[in-house]
Protein backbone atom coordinates (compact mmCIF):
# COMPACT_ATOMS: atom_id res chain seq x y z
CA UNK A 1 0.00 0.00 0.00
CA UNK A 2 1.32 3.44 -0.96
CA UNK A 3 1.18 5.69 2.14
CA UNK A 4 1.26 9.51 1.88
CA UNK A 5 1.51 11.53 5.12
CA UNK A 6 0.72 15.25 5.23
CA UNK A 7 0.64 17.83 8.01
CA UNK A 8 -1.71 20.81 8.18
CA UNK A 9 -1.01 23.56 10.75
CA UNK A 10 1.81 21.39 12.11
CA UNK A 11 5.11 19.78 11.13
CA UNK A 12 5.24 16.00 10.79
CA UNK A 13 8.24 14.82 12.80
CA UNK A 14 10.18 11.66 12.01
CA UNK A 15 8.79 9.99 15.14
CA UNK A 16 5.22 10.84 14.12
CA UNK A 17 5.89 9.70 10.56
CA UNK A 18 7.23 6.34 11.83
CA UNK A 19 4.27 5.92 14.18
CA UNK A 20 1.74 6.60 11.40
CA UNK A 21 3.60 4.28 9.02
CA UNK A 22 3.55 1.51 11.63
CA UNK A 23 -0.12 1.89 12.63
CA UNK A 24 -1.68 2.57 9.22
CA UNK A 25 0.81 0.30 7.44
CA UNK A 26 -0.78 -2.68 9.20
CA UNK A 27 -3.83 -2.21 6.99
CA UNK A 28 -1.76 -3.22 3.95
CA UNK A 29 -2.55 -6.88 4.68
CA UNK A 30 -6.24 -6.15 4.03
CA UNK A 31 -6.00 -4.11 0.84
CA UNK A 32 -4.52 -4.53 -2.60
CA UNK A 33 -0.82 -3.61 -2.96
CA UNK A 34 -1.60 -0.81 -5.42
CA UNK A 35 -3.99 0.94 -3.01
CA UNK A 36 -3.09 4.47 -1.94
CA UNK A 37 -3.65 5.82 1.57
CA UNK A 38 -3.43 9.54 2.34
CA UNK A 39 -3.12 10.46 6.02
CA UNK A 40 -3.43 14.08 7.09
CA UNK A 41 -2.65 15.18 10.63
CA UNK A 42 -3.60 18.64 11.85
CA UNK A 43 -4.04 20.80 14.89
CA UNK A 44 -7.25 22.82 15.26
CA UNK A 45 -6.42 26.43 16.12
CA UNK A 46 -9.75 27.11 17.87
CA UNK A 47 -9.09 27.19 21.66
CA UNK A 48 -12.67 26.15 22.45
CA UNK A 49 -12.11 22.74 20.84
CA UNK A 50 -10.68 20.37 23.46
CA UNK A 51 -9.96 17.53 21.02
CA UNK A 52 -7.75 19.62 18.76
CA UNK A 53 -5.36 16.91 17.49
CA UNK A 54 -7.02 15.55 14.33
CA UNK A 55 -6.01 12.57 12.17
CA UNK A 56 -7.80 11.92 8.87
CA UNK A 57 -7.21 9.16 6.33
CA UNK A 58 -8.51 8.27 2.89
CA UNK A 59 -7.84 4.89 1.30
CA UNK A 60 -8.23 4.71 -2.47
CA UNK A 61 -8.82 1.13 -3.68
CA UNK A 62 -10.10 -0.28 -6.94
CA UNK A 63 -13.54 -0.35 -5.35
CA UNK A 64 -14.78 2.17 -2.79
CA UNK A 65 -12.97 5.07 -1.18
CA UNK A 66 -12.72 4.55 2.58
CA UNK A 67 -12.47 7.59 4.83
CA UNK A 68 -12.11 8.08 8.56
CA UNK A 69 -11.51 11.01 10.92
CA UNK A 70 -10.62 10.97 14.61
CA UNK A 71 -9.79 13.72 17.07
CA UNK A 72 -8.50 13.74 20.63
CA UNK A 73 -6.29 15.83 22.90
CA UNK A 74 -3.21 13.75 21.92
CA UNK A 75 -2.06 13.13 18.33
CA UNK A 76 -0.86 9.58 19.04
CA UNK A 77 -4.25 8.71 20.54
CA UNK A 78 -5.97 10.17 17.46
CA UNK A 79 -3.79 7.99 15.21
CA UNK A 80 -4.58 4.88 17.28
CA UNK A 81 -8.33 5.60 17.07
CA UNK A 82 -8.02 6.30 13.34
CA UNK A 83 -6.19 3.02 12.67
CA UNK A 84 -8.81 1.06 14.63
CA UNK A 85 -11.67 2.74 12.77
CA UNK A 86 -10.09 2.15 9.35
CA UNK A 87 -9.43 -1.51 10.18
CA UNK A 88 -13.09 -1.99 11.17
CA UNK A 89 -14.29 -0.31 7.97
CA UNK A 90 -11.99 -2.35 5.72
CA UNK A 91 -12.92 -5.62 7.46
CA UNK A 92 -16.61 -4.75 7.22
CA UNK A 93 -16.36 -4.05 3.50
CA UNK A 94 -14.32 -7.20 2.91
CA UNK A 95 -16.95 -9.17 4.81
CA UNK A 96 -19.66 -7.77 2.56
CA UNK A 97 -17.69 -8.71 -0.55
CA UNK A 98 -17.09 -12.21 0.81
CA UNK A 99 -20.76 -12.66 1.67
CA UNK A 100 -21.76 -11.48 -1.80
CA UNK A 101 -19.28 -13.72 -3.57
CA UNK A 102 -19.74 -16.79 -1.37
CA UNK A 103 -19.55 -19.70 -3.74
CA UNK A 104 -18.47 -17.40 -6.59
CA UNK A 105 -15.01 -17.34 -8.05
CA UNK A 106 -12.49 -15.69 -5.68
CA UNK A 107 -10.96 -13.72 -8.55
CA UNK A 108 -13.84 -11.25 -8.22
CA UNK A 109 -12.64 -10.28 -4.74
CA UNK A 110 -9.06 -9.87 -5.96
CA UNK A 111 -10.21 -7.56 -8.78
CA UNK A 112 -12.08 -5.40 -6.25
CA UNK A 113 -8.73 -4.69 -4.58
CA UNK A 114 -9.45 -6.30 -1.22
CA UNK A 115 -7.60 -9.60 -1.45
CA UNK A 116 -4.01 -10.43 -2.07
CA UNK A 117 -3.37 -13.12 -4.73
CA UNK A 118 -2.43 -15.71 -2.09
CA UNK A 119 -5.61 -14.92 -0.10
CA UNK A 120 -7.76 -15.32 -3.19
CA UNK A 121 -7.16 -19.06 -3.10
CA UNK A 122 -7.83 -19.49 0.64
CA UNK A 123 -11.26 -20.25 2.02
CA UNK A 124 -12.11 -17.41 4.39
CA UNK A 125 -15.24 -17.28 6.55
CA UNK A 126 -17.37 -14.14 6.33
CA UNK A 127 -17.02 -11.89 9.34
CA UNK A 128 -20.11 -11.07 11.33
CA UNK A 129 -21.82 -7.92 10.08
CA UNK A 130 -23.57 -5.46 12.42
CA UNK A 131 -27.23 -6.18 13.05
CA UNK A 132 -30.21 -4.38 14.55
CA UNK A 133 -30.48 -5.38 18.21
CA UNK A 134 -33.07 -2.88 19.46
CA UNK A 135 -36.14 -1.21 17.97
CA UNK A 136 -37.72 1.91 19.46
CA UNK A 137 -41.04 3.48 18.56
CA UNK A 138 -42.17 6.96 19.49
CA UNK A 139 -44.69 9.59 18.53
CA UNK A 140 -43.40 12.16 16.05
CA UNK A 141 -44.89 15.49 17.11
CA UNK A 142 -45.35 18.53 14.84
CA UNK A 143 -43.00 21.35 15.95
CA UNK A 144 -40.58 23.94 14.61
CA UNK A 145 -36.86 23.28 14.19
CA UNK A 146 -36.11 25.55 17.16
CA UNK A 147 -38.49 23.56 19.40
CA UNK A 148 -36.85 20.34 18.19
CA UNK A 149 -33.40 21.71 19.12
CA UNK A 150 -34.73 22.49 22.60
CA UNK A 151 -36.17 18.96 22.89
CA UNK A 152 -32.80 17.59 21.75
CA UNK A 153 -31.13 19.35 24.68
CA UNK A 154 -33.77 18.10 27.10
CA UNK A 155 -33.47 14.42 26.11
CA UNK A 156 -29.66 14.57 25.89
CA UNK A 157 -29.36 12.66 22.59
CA UNK A 158 -27.28 13.48 19.53
CA UNK A 159 -30.31 13.81 17.24
CA UNK A 160 -34.07 14.34 17.41
CA UNK A 161 -36.72 13.27 14.87
CA UNK A 162 -39.79 15.49 14.46
CA UNK A 163 -42.49 16.59 11.99
CA UNK A 164 -41.91 20.10 10.70
CA UNK A 165 -45.00 22.15 11.52
CA UNK A 166 -44.69 24.22 8.31
CA UNK A 167 -44.05 21.49 5.71
CA UNK A 168 -45.53 18.44 7.52
CA UNK A 169 -42.39 16.49 6.52
CA UNK A 170 -40.35 14.37 8.90
CA UNK A 171 -37.04 16.05 9.72
CA UNK A 172 -34.03 15.47 11.97
CA UNK A 173 -32.17 18.02 14.05
CA UNK A 174 -28.69 16.98 15.24
CA UNK A 175 -25.80 18.34 17.30
CA UNK A 176 -22.71 19.22 15.26
CA UNK A 177 -19.11 18.84 16.45
CA UNK A 178 -18.76 22.62 16.73
CA UNK A 179 -21.63 22.75 19.27
CA UNK A 180 -24.22 24.18 16.87
CA UNK A 181 -27.19 22.30 15.37
CA UNK A 182 -27.86 20.88 11.92
CA UNK A 183 -31.20 20.17 10.25
CA UNK A 184 -31.86 17.32 7.83
CA UNK A 185 -34.97 17.72 5.67
CA UNK A 186 -36.24 15.36 2.97
CA UNK A 187 -35.98 16.59 -0.62
CA UNK A 188 -39.06 16.02 -2.75
Q: What one-character DSSP code corresponds to residue 128?
A: P
89-126: per-residue pLDDT in tens?
Answer: 888 877 766 666 665 444 545 555 555 544 444 434 44
139: number of Cβ within 10 Å: 5
Q: How far apart are CA 112 and CA 57, in angstroms?
A: 20
Q: Based on the domain organization, do 14 and 105 belong to the same domain?
A: yes
Does the pTM surpass 0.95? The reply is no
Residue 62 lies in a domain: yes
* 36-43 sheet: strands from edge to edge: 2-8, 36-43, 53-60, 65-72
* Dmax (CA) of the chain: 59
8 A C-beta contact, residue 54 and residue 70: yes
Q: Based on the domain organization, do 18 and 92 belong to the same domain?
A: yes
Give me the mean pLDDT over the 148-157 stretch: 82
Q: Based on the domain organization, do 112 and 146 belong to the same domain?
A: no
28-74: per-residue pLDDT in tens?
Answer: 888 877 888 999 999 988 877 888 899 999 988 877 788 899 999 99
Cross-strand pairs, 60? 36, 65
- Domain extent, residue 152, equals 142-184
The pLDDT value given to residue 122: 43
Domain count, the chain: 2
Amino acid sequence: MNLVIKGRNMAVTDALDDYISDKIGRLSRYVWDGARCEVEVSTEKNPSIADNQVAEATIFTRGPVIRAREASADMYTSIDLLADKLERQVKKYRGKIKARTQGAHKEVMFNQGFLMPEEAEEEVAAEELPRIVKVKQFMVKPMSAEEAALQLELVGHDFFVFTDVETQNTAVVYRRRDGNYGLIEPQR
